[in-house]
Structure 1
């Protein structure tokens, strides 16, 4: 069952990577990548369906195997996405890009696997939900503001990080919903960070530096969920020098991607 879980998670990562590459290809170079305009693009919609399929396969894999096996397979989507995105743009990924992505993936796997498992049900009151949405919103706005004055590569990174923070808040709220400790209006709050995250991510993709934007998303999403878990749900954090080393490795890989990820834009935009 463990081998089957790993295989399903790996296929899920491929679907997720393909979806991200397709959506970035449609958004790249757009001055204003609005969701309404992107919703009229068939490839963007196919990308969204592929991402949903990848997420579903990841959930199935988690039901069949341990997190320590499934999670590294999920991080592999970064290594799949770079060649797929490069192929869509008619080029080959460089060894520097792939090397930097491998460093990010290694650091992120280390960080995720060092997070202690939570025990007991997840509960969050209305005040906690407001704090969750408020902190995520403020962080996202600050990152968005920083992106407005940054160079293109760092603009993509900051916008994607903003999206990752909002997706991390969404994941935390989803956990609370699944565990049953919620009020009916939690369902009304859920679409807010989700839609804002999607909008921020398309703006990051529109910049054109796919490698750094996708890596930043991959890093920010789970780390934000872990941070909110510790801040609001009382979950434990990893301790010692190993998490620090993994974090530094992830940061170094992201910086390297910002320097090596090429500027990509379509020349057939409507």
Structure 2
């Protein structure tokens, strides 16, 4: 069953990567990739379906295997996404890009593995939920303001990070709802940060630096969810010298890989190339 869970999670990562690459291809190079405009593009919608399929496979994988096996497999989406996007843009993936992505993947796996499992039932009161949404919104707003004045690479990173923070908040609410929380307004509020995150992510993709934008999303989303889980749900953080050192080393690898990926060539359509 553990092997099956790993295979399902890996397949889910492939679908998620393909969907992200398709959506970035549609958003790249547009002055203002509004969701209304993108919703009229079949390839962008196909990307959304692929992301949905990847998410569903990941959830099914969690039913067959432990979190410590399934979650690291999700990191593979970063390694899958770069070749998918490069094929759409009709360019080759440079070894440096894959190398930087691999460093980020190793760092993320290290961070995931040092987080202890939590067997208790998560509970979120009304005050904590308001604090969750307010904190995520405030952080995303600050990142959005900074992105407006940043250079293209920095803008892609900041916008994708803002999207990751909001997705992390959505994941925290979803975890509480999945464990039987009956607060009706939680269910109504959960899609709001996700939709705002989707819009921010399309703006990050439009910059053209797909690799670093997708990497920033993959880093910010789980780290935000872990932080909110620890602060609001009482979930444990790594303890002990060995776990702390591992977490610091993994974080350093993740940052180094992201910086290296930010220095790569923007992934935008080649001049005069017809859409595949």
TM range (shorter): over 0.9
Aligned partner of 1:226 in structure 2 is 226
Find out whether 1:42 has 2:42 as its counterpart: yes
Within the candidate set 245, 256, 261, 1:252 is matched to 256
Q: Which residue number corresponds to residue 26 of structure 2? A: 26
CA contact (8 A) 1:124 1:182 kept: no
Unaligned runs of 5+ in 2: none
Instruction: Name structure 1 gaps, 5 residues minimum.
Output: none
Q: Deviations over 1:181-209 (max 9, x none)?
A: 24111112112101100000000000100
| Residue 66 (structure 2) aligns with | 66
The reply to whether residue 262 of structure 1 matches residue 266 of structure 2 is: yes
| Counterpart selection for 1:243 from 247, 251, 257 | 247
CA contact (8 A) 2:90 2:270 kept: no
Match of 2:209 in 1: 209
1:210, 1:261 within 8 Å by CA — same for their partners in 2?
A: no
1:1-270 equivalence runs, <5 A: 1-239=1-239, 240-265=244-269
Return the alpha-carbon distance in structure 2 between the equivalents of residues 14 and 209 of structure 1: 20
CA distance change for structure 1 residues 4 and 60 in 2, over 3 Å: closer, same or farther?
A: same
Distance 1:15 1:225 in 2: 22
> Do the aligned partners of 2:165 and 2:224 also contact (CA within 8 Å) in 1?
yes
Once the 2 structures are TM-superposed, how far is the Cα of residue 68 of structure 1 from its aligned partner? 2.1
CA contact (8 A) 1:159 1:203 kept: yes
Q: Secondary structure at the match of 2:49?
A: helix
Aligned Cα root-mean-square deviation (Å): 1.3
Query: TM-score, structure 1 length as denominator?
Result: 0.97
Structure 1 contact 33–206 (Cα < 8 Å) conserved: yes
Q: Give the CA deviation at 1:55.
A: 0.5
| C-alpha contact (below 8 Å) 1:29/1:266 kept by paired residues | no
Q: Which moved more, 1:183-192 or 1:242-251?
A: 183-192
SS of corresponding position for 1:260: coil
8 Å Cα contact 1:125-1:182 kept in structure 2: no
Is the deviation greater in 40-49 or in 6-15? 6-15
Q: Secondary structure at the match of 2:186?
A: helix
Q: Give, in angstroms, the shift of residue 3 of structure 1.
A: 1.4
Task: Name the SS for the 1:96 alignment partner.
Answer: helix
1:79 Cα deviation after fit? 0.2
Residues 141-198 of structure 1 show CA distances to partners (whole Å, capped at 9, x for unaligned) of 1111111111111110110000000000000000111112241111121121011000
Distance 2:257 2:185 in 1: 40
Shift of 1:265: 4.0
Check the 8 A contact 1:97/1:261 in 2, yes or no. Answer: no
